Amino acid sequence: MPRIHLPLLPASTKLSHSLGQRLALARCRRELSTTVFAERVGISRNTLKRLESGDPNVSLGTYLRALRVLGLDADLDMVARDDALGRKLQDLKSLGNRSTAGALTP
């Protein structure tokens, strides 16, 4: 069965391209050539080109390995660690039928 690639929303596409550009800048700041960086990540230079252009079809594992090679993987631990919106939604749900007007404002 062939793989189906669903298109991203415009905001997600922009975010994906931005991540790719930041990875390319981080690689350049460390003075790593595309050949050396691709070898360290375990990918081809063609895949690296796709990664740095923000191709959403590059696997998450590849992005994670690239971040590890760059020493940036620790920052991922902060993703969704403090889910403020999720906590507010839980609080609203726990209030039940009470009046919740303004409950989402800080």
pLDDT of residue 17: 95
| Residue 98 covered by a domain | no
| Residue 16 covered by a domain | yes
Which CATH number is 36's domain given?
1.10.260.40
| Residue 93 covered by a domain | no
Q: What are phi and psi of 16, to 5 degrees?
A: -65, -45
pLDDT tens, 7-62?
A: 889 999 999 999 999 999 999 999 999 999 999 999 999 999 999 999 999 999 99
Range of the domain at 66: 10-78
pLDDT tens, 73-87?
A: 888 777 777 888 888
| Residue 14 covered by a domain | yes
| Residue 31 covered by a domain | yes
CA angle, 91 then 92 then 98, to 5°: 120
Alpha helices in 42-98 (DSSP H): 45-52, 60-70, 84-95
Question: Confidence class of residue 106 from pLDDT cuts 50, 70 and 90?
Answer: low
Does the pLDDT of residue 99 top 70, yes or no? no
Mean of the per-residue pLDDT values of the chain: 87
Contacts of 20 (CB under 8 A, 6+ apart): 51, 52, 53, 54, 55
* Integer Cα distance of 37 and 55 in angstroms: 17
* Integer Cα distance of 66 and 17 in angstroms: 15
Contacts of 19 (CB under 8 A, 6+ apart): 54, 63
| Residue 40 covered by a domain | yes
pLDDT of residue 47: 98
Number of structural domains in the chain: 1
